[in-house]
Amino acid sequence: MPAPHVSRRHMFGYAGAATLGGTAGLVGGRLLAADASQDVVQQDHPAHGAHQAGIATRTQAVGELIAFDLLPGTDRAALGRLMRVWSSDISALTAGRPAPGDATPDLAQASVSMTILVGLGPRVFDLDGLQANRPAGFQEIPPMDHDALDERWSGGDLLAWVSADDATSVAHAARRLTVDAAPFASPRWTQRGSWRSAGPDGQPVTGRNLFGQVDGTGNPTDDALSAAVFSTDGWLTGGTQLVVRRIEMDLGTWDDLTRDRQERSMGRTLATGAPLTGGEEHTPMDLSATADGAPVIPLDAHARLAHPSQNSGRTMLRRGLNYTHEEWIDGRQVATAGLIFSAFQASIADQFIPVQRTLDQSDALNEWTTAIGSAVFAVPPGFGPDGWIAEGLLGD
C-alpha cells in the first residue's frame, strides 16, 4: 500500500543524495535523471538517526521481511549481543560495505537505497528482566471474521525487514543477518514483495497494488506522520509499533468486475486515485456528496471506512509490498497474489485494531481480500554510530 506521499522537504532530502551526476542517461551503470534533484532511486539512506530507516523512507523496489524465533537459550543478555551484531551489520551493509566476517563481501554495494529495519515480537517481553517493558498498546491482532490465518505467515519474536532498489543486494543482506542471527534465533517465515514508487521520469509516485489501485495516498506526512507513528512511551520513544498482515487478493474475481464496480468498492478512481467526488489524487474526499439520492462515495467503500474522519481521527502509516506466490499442490502449480500490508503507528491497540474492526465488519473489499498472516513488532528507535538497536531496552 503505502508509499508515503513525498513532500517537498523529502524531495530536497533526495536531492542531497542524488548530486553525483547531473546529465541524463546511463553513466557508469547509474541512471541519472535529467534533473538530479528528482532522482529518487539509488540513494544511500543513513542507518543512524532518531528513528530507524525504513519507516518514513520512500518504499524501495524490493523488500524482504524475515521473522525469527528466539532459540531457547536466548535471554535478555544474548538478545543484546544479537542487537549489537545486527547494528554493526546494518551500519556496514546500508553504506555499501561488507558486514564483519562477510563470506561474500563483493556483493555489498552502495547507492541501492538500502534500509534495514528491526522489530521485536511480543514474546521478547516475556523474557526475564523485560516483562515490565512491554509497550502500552502493543498486542497481537484479535481474530477477525474475515481472517484465514496460516501459521506459515504469522507471529515471530524478531523481524528484520531489508529493503533496497535491487533484489541481489536484498538477498545478500538478508542472508548476512540470518547467518549472524543463527546462534540466537532461527528463521520462522520470510515474505518477499515489491513496490514501484518512481514514475517513468524518476519522479516519486505513490505506487499501485495488484488490484491496480493507487495505494498510499492518505498516508500522513511531516508533523502528522510523526504524531501518528512515533512513540513517546519510555524506552520505545522515537520507535513505533508495526503490524504486518499478509492479505491475499483474489485477482481472478476482481478482474471480472466492471471498472465502475472496482472504483466504487474503493471510492477512488483507478486511473489517478482521485476521489470519486472529483479532483486529483490528493484532493480531499467529499464524503457528504450525493448523486440521485445516494452517496457518491459508497458507505462501504474502503477509503471512506478507513478515513480518519470515520475513525475518531485515527491514522497510521501504511507501507505495503505486492507479492506473488507459487506453490505445488497435488502436482499442480498454484499461483496466489496479494499485499504484504504493513502499518506503523504509535499504538496498535488505539490505532490499527479499531480501524481493522470497522473494515472487518463493512469493507466492500472483503469480498476479494483475506488476511492469511498476521504479526506485530515493537520497532525500537534509531541508533547512533556508537550505539546499537534497542540499547535503551537491553543495555545495562
> How far, in Å, CA of 67 to CA of 117, rounded?
12
Joined grid coordinates for residue 392: 535503551
> How far, in Å, CA of 253 to CA of 257, rounded?
7
Measured from the CB atom, is 130 or 243 closer to ligand HEM?
243
Q: Which of 257, 227, 222 is nearest to 240 (CA)?
A: 227
Measured from the CB atom, is 188 or 318 closer to ligand HEM?
318
CA 290, 294, 298, 299 torsion-angle sign: positive
Q: How far is the CB of 325 from ligand HEM (least distance, A)?
A: 14
Q: How far is the CB of 134 from ligand HEM (least distance, A)?
A: 22
Measured from the CB atom, is 185 or 198 closer to ligand HEM?
198
On the 0-12 / 13-18 / 19+ scale of CB atoms within 10 A, 212 is middle
Q: How far is the CB of 211 from ligand HEM (least distance, A)?
A: 6
Q: How far is the CB of 196 from ligand HEM (least distance, A)?
A: 14
Binding site for ligand HEM (CB under 6 A): 1, 209, 211, 213, 215-218, 245, 247, 249, 266, 268, 273, 302-303, 306-308, 316, 318, 339, 341, 352, 355-356, 359, 365, 369
> How far, in Å, CA of 285 to CA of 386, rounded?
46
| Catalytic residue numbers, as ranges | 215
Measured from the CB atom, is 341 or 344 closer to ligand HEM?
341
Per DSSP, what are the bridge partners of residue 336?
A: 325
Measured from the CB atom, is 159 or 355 closer to ligand HEM?
355
Report the C-alpha dihedral over residues 379, 384, 390, 393, rounded to 10 degrees: -120
Decide if 291 contacts 282 (C-beta within 8 A): no
CB atoms within 10 A of CB 40: 26
> How far, in Å, CA of 34 to CA of 24, rounded?
4
> How far, in Å, CA of 240 to CA of 57, rounded?
14
Measured from the CB atom, is 23 or 288 closer to ligand HEM?
288
Q: How far is the CB of 245 from ligand HEM (least distance, A)?
A: 6
Which helix (H) or strand (E) is 114 found in, with range? none
Sequence-ordered list of residues with C-beta below 8 angstroms from that of 34, at least 6 positions apart, any chain: 23, 24, 201
Report the C-alpha dihedral over residues 25, 28, 31, 36, rounded to 10 degrees: -80
Q: How far is the CB of 154 from ligand HEM (least distance, A)?
A: 15
Q: Which of 54, 24, 41 is nearest to 389 (CA)?
A: 54
Q: How far is the CB of 317 from ligand HEM (least distance, A)?
A: 9
Measured from the CB atom, is 80 or 137 closer to ligand HEM?
137
Q: How far is the CB of 254 from ligand HEM (least distance, A)?
A: 10
> How far, in Å, CA of 148 to CA of 157, rounded?
21
On the 0-12 / 13-18 / 19+ scale of CB atoms within 10 A, 288 is exposed
Measured from the CB atom, is 178 or 283 closer to ligand HEM?
283
Q: Which residues of 230-265 are buried (b: 16+ CB within 10 A; e: fewer)?
A: bbebebbebbbbbbbbbbbbbbeebeeeeeeebbbb
